[in-house]
Amino acid sequence: MFFTVVSYIAAFLTTASFVPQAVKTIRTKDTASISLGMYVMFTGGVMLWMAYGIATGQPAIVISNFITTILAVVILCYKIAGVRAEK
Amino acid sequence: MFFTVVSYIAAFLTTASFVPQAVKTIRTKDTASISLGMYVMFTGGVMLWMAYGIATGQPAIVISNFITTILAVVILCYKIAGVRAEK
């Protein structure tokens, strides 16, 4: 039981951690020091985790990765817009 | 079997995605648009995932989160140094 709680806290932290980054990015529109490569790979990864959670019937994995996907896509879109603006 | 492979690809992508961010941060020393809050929460989260993996005997969770922890700590240290330099 104890380690189940640990996994929920871990899932909450790794998911919720993208909220302050998304807020900062939306507010400042500054993505210069954010890696485009990171968010392309990361977004792909959390989308695959979501598919895995759906296929194996694990709602906790689906929900946490769905939230992370939305946040990561927001940051990725600002980064792509920033890259285009530089050109 | 197919979805086990999907989970390994997802784990690889979400872990390896921090490599380009760490490389960019080390090379540019620019962390202005990176959220301190994100990396404090995220680093805590992946450390908890590592503890969970050790406690439940799941090497894949331990290894992937150990790598992510190292990369996240590197980025976090540069961000903290950047915040201090601003003061």
At A85, the pLDDT band (50, 70, 90 cuts) reads: confident
Find the mean pLDDT for residues A57-73.
Answer: 93
Find the mean pLDDT for residues B1-21.
Answer: 93
- H helices of A1-87, in order, are 2-16, 18-28, 36-55, 59-86
Interchain CB distance below 8 Å, A7 and B44: no
Q: Structural domain tally of chain B?
A: 1
Task: Say what percent of chain A tops pLDDT 90.
Answer: 84
Interchain CB distance below 8 Å, A38 and B17: yes
Nearest to B41 among A17, A38, A55 (CB): A17
Chain B residue nearest residue A57, CA to CA: B3
The pLDDT tens digits of the residues spanning A33-47 come to 999 999 999 999 999
Q: Does A26 touch chain B (CB under 8 A)?
A: no
Q: Does A73 touch chain B (CB under 8 A)?
A: no
Amino acid identity at B78: Y
- Domain assignment of residue B14, given as a range: 2-86
User: Is 80 exceeded by the pLDDT of residue B41?
Assistant: yes
Cα separation, A55 vs B6, whole angstroms: 10
Q: Does B73 touch chain A (CB under 8 A)?
A: no
At B60, the pLDDT band (50, 70, 90 cuts) reads: confident
Smallest CA–CA distance, residue B1 to chain A, in Å, is 11
The CATH code of the domain that includes B43 is: 1.20.1280.290
Nearest to A41 among B17, B42, B49 (CB): B17
Query: What number is the ipTM of this complex?
Result: 0.90
Q: Does B58 touch chain A (CB under 8 A)?
A: no
pLDDT at B86: 81
Smallest CA–CA distance, residue B64 to chain A, in Å, is 13
| Nearest C-alpha neighbor of A22 from the set A83, A74, A77 | A74
At B12, the pLDDT band (50, 70, 90 cuts) reads: very high
Output the six-digit token pair for B14.
């979400």
pLDDT at B80: 96
CB within 8 A of A61, min separation 6: which ones?
A49, A50, A52, A53
User: Is 80 exceeded by the pLDDT of residue B87?
Assistant: no
